[in-house]
Amino acid sequence: MVSEFWDARYAGNDYHFGTEPAAFVARWAHLVAPGARVLTIAEGEGRNAVHLAARGAHVTAMDGSPVAVAKAHRLAVERDVEVDFRVADIGAWEWQDAAFDVALGVFFQFAQPPLRAAIFAGLAQTLVPGGLLLLHGYAPRQIGYGTGGPPVAENLWTLEMLHAAFPGFEVLHEADYDAEIEEGRGHAGRSALIDFVARKPV
Ligand SMILES: C[S@@+](CC[C@H](N)C(=O)[O-])C[C@H]1O[C@@H](n2cnc3c(N)ncnc32)[C@H](O)[C@@H]1O
């Protein structure tokens, strides 16, 4: 069952990854126009979805954990924003063609290579031509740091992998770097990060 592990992790009243957006999302949110249709996958407890909705985006946010989605709802109510939250297994997600102006994926390192390939293809499919892709995750050296993410090397990302997955996309920003992050209990300390900001070809 997809959600058991994550439901347990999200069981407390606190927000496992905090209630503020990932630094990556805060940094690039200015590229998301008010009114933009945004899909955010594996959204967790809603920190990134709520941030973008508060800036005027129309956000659809999916996650496999009903516990996370209930807490995400709570955060949206507290912040007085509306988000279309869905509980769904990403492996069964029906990617709509050219339905979103922005697609966001933050720390979905649970996805092993075959599922990851399907997700990457789905993200490309669901973006409109010219749509914005925002990806943020862990690089392989994160395994030595032990500050977040699964200790499964094949699930981690490289920039080369992302270039190969999104051929023809115009890369606006890419980075493979170390940074201190403080995102609740879930992500804390020196982290090996990958950022990828790109536009689908028109
Ligand atoms: C590391 S958390 C990241 C959450 C969120 N993106 C954030 O940065 O706060 C990974 C998320 O993936 C979700 N997840 C794991 N497997 C999933 C699946 N098969 N389908 C949908 N979501 C899944 C978990 O419930 C969890 O919320």
Predicted confidence (pLDDT) per residue in 29-72, tens digit = 999 999 999 999 999 999 999 999 999 999 999 999 999 999 99
Which of 19, 51, 63 for mutating ligand 1's site (highest number of atoms within 8 Å of CB)? 63
- Based on the structure, what is the number of domains in the chain? 1
Residue 86 scores a pLDDT above 90:
yes
Residue 1 scores a pLDDT above 60:
no
Whole-number Å distance between alpha carbons of 68 and 164: 32
Alpha carbon nearest to ligand 1 atom 17, residue = 64
Parent domain of 9: 3-199
Q: Measured from the CB, is residue 101 less than 6 Å from ligand 1?
A: no
Structural contact between residues 102 and 36, judged by C-beta atoms closer than 8 angstroms = yes
Where residue 105 sits, what CATH number does that domain have? 3.40.50.150
What is the per-residue pLDDT across 165-182, written as a single tens digit (0 to 9) for each? 999 999 999 999 999 988
DSSP string, 77-118: HHTT---EEEE--GGG--PPTT-EEEEEEE--TT--HHHHHH
Q: Measured from the CB, is residue 68 less than 6 Å from ligand 1?
A: yes
Q: What is the pTM of this model?
A: 0.97
Q: Measured from the CB, is residue 2 less than 6 Å from ligand 1?
A: yes
